[in-house]
Amino acid sequence: MTAGTHPVALITGSSSGIGEATATTLAGLGYRVFASGRALENVEHLRGRSPSLEIMEIDVADEDSVRRGVQRVLDAAGRIDVVVNNAGFAIFGAVEDLDREALRRQFEVNVFGAMSVCRAVLPAMRRQRSGCIVNVSSLAGRISPPLLGAYCASKFALEALSDSLRVEARPFGIHVVVLEPGATLTRFPDRAMAESANVLANTDSIYASVYRGALANYTTPSTGVSSKDVARRIAHIVRTRHPAARYRVRWYDTLALALTGILPQRVLDFGVSRWIGLQELRPGRQRNSQERNGARNS
Ligand SMILES: NC(=O)c1ccc[n+]([C@@H]2O[C@H](COP(=O)([O-])OP(=O)(O)OC[C@H]3O[C@@H](n4cnc5c(N)ncnc54)[C@H](OP(=O)(O)O)[C@@H]3O)[C@@H](O)[C@H]2O)c1
């Protein structure tokens, strides 16, 4: 980068939440930000938010859209210093209820999308001999609770690919970093509910009774950081000279992960099963609860 020029950042999924907060935060720090959305109208509200912020369309599930978007940034700015692979969503549902199409849709955005963006920007970063790619994973990229299998699998995959890419890209001066936020207060749960409507509406599912109560635990987190907190973490990462492989946003996320490494799996499984209500599906329990319901109704 020549003196006086602004570093250039491309962010995916900038229409709301973490992506939007990251776009405005980096623009405020003097980055020339290309805030991309799946459709242009989804990021229209960011237009004019800052003189150094431009909106553009990138649907990460569409390889051509990714290629066109990255080329547009390079044509306009001549370089890309930072990429934040933020676009992502979740599909809820027990593994047995997730058909091939649901899994494919989940991976299409969270994994294949992020990797398409990486592949598209790497040649330019290599020419520059510098660059920083932040892949927004999740605590769900390290632990996989029930009813979140598709989402967790996608984030585990993103982490695995990031681990390989980090070492492959390092000789060219490119940093690849994974960020693992915990619960963050965005519209993410509402979006997940909408994306999972088909799965959750299946009344034939053996898990139908669990879905009703359990998803409330996931969709209304009692605590969580703000998208601005996550954006500030991303800003810290991209301005760090030698970033670590992984970051979390809050110390208690690190503690939670450490605890899952210490506690016996059997204890963790039992706790989460009770929390979600899966214990109620045990044959004896089902009979008891049917009897309780029968007695109540008679
Ligand atoms: N919220 C949390 O608790 C939490 C925790 C850990 C990690 N994360 C991760 O953080 C990232 C951002 O989530 P968020 O919480 O900010 O939720 P959000 O407000 O729903 O933002 C998700 C973004 O991804 C975009 N997106 C979805 N599919 C896309 C596609 N095909 N192409 C381009 N953009 C697409 C959405 O765009 P549209 O407006 O077009 O839908 C939206 O801008 C995700 O990767 C998520 O997995 C979230």
Share of the chain above pLDDT 70, in %: 92
- The rounded Å distance from CA 241 to ligand 1 centre is 27
Residue of 84, 86, 142 to mutate, ligand 1, most atoms within 8 A of C-beta? 86
Residue 112 carries which DSSP code? I
- The rounded Å distance from CA 282 to ligand 1 centre is 35
Contacts of 210 (CB under 8 A, 6+ apart): 94, 147, 276, 277, 278, 280, 281
Residue of 12, 14, 15 to mutate, ligand 1, most atoms within 8 A of C-beta? 15
Cβ(204)–Cβ(160) under 8 Å?
Answer: no
- CA–CA gap between residue 223 and residue 90 (Å, rounded): 19
Q: What is the pLDDT of residues 34-62, one digit of tens each?
A: 999 999 999 999 999 999 999 999 999 99
- The rounded Å distance from CA 86 to ligand 1 centre is 6
Closest Cα to atom 8 of ligand 1: 138
- What is the per-residue pLDDT for 212? 80
β-pairing verdict for 32-37 and 8-11: parallel
- CA–CA gap between residue 59 and residue 113 (Å, rounded): 8
DSSP for 29-70 reads TT-EEEEEESSHHHHGGGTTS-TTEEEEE--TT-HHHHHHHH
Please list the ranges in the chain whose pLDDT falls under 70.
1-4, 217-222, 285-298
Closest Cα to atom 47 of ligand 1: 88
The closest alpha carbon to 97, from 209, 214, 198, belongs to: 198
Other Cβ atoms closer than 10 A to 179: 23
Closest Cα to atom 23 of ligand 1: 13
Tokens of 102: 């649901």
Residues with catalytic function: 151
- The rounded Å distance from CA 188 to ligand 1 centre is 6
Cβ(90)–Cβ(148) under 8 Å?
Answer: yes
Residue of 85, 92, 186 to mutate, ligand 1, most atoms within 8 A of C-beta? 186
Cβ(247)–Cβ(237) under 8 Å?
Answer: yes
Atom nearest to 139 CA in ligand 1: 6
Q: What is the pLDDT of residues 186-196, one digit of tens each?
A: 999 999 999 99
Atom nearest to 136 CA in ligand 1: 45
- The rounded Å distance from CA 96 to ligand 1 centre is 25
Closest Cα to atom 33 of ligand 1: 38
- What is the per-residue pLDDT for 291? 54
Ligand 1 pocket by C-beta < 6 Å: which residues? 12-13, 15-19, 37-38, 42, 59-61, 86-89, 109, 113, 136, 138, 181, 183-184, 186-188, 191, 227
Query: Domains along the chain?
Result: 8-262 (3.40.50.720), 264-298 (no CATH)
- What is the per-residue pLDDT for 298? 45
- CA–CA gap between residue 80 and residue 60 (Å, rounded): 17
Give the HSE-up count for residue 35: Cα atoms under 13 Å, Cβ half-sphere.
31
- CA–CA gap between residue 85 and residue 136 (Å, rounded): 6
Distance of alpha carbon 293 from its chain centroid, rounded? 40
Q: Where are the alpha helices (DSSP H) in the chain?
A: 17-28, 40-43, 63-77, 100-107, 114-128, 149-169, 188-195, 197-200, 208-219, 227-238, 251-262, 265-276, 283-297
3-state SS class at 267: helix
- The rounded Å distance from CA 110 to ligand 1 centre is 9
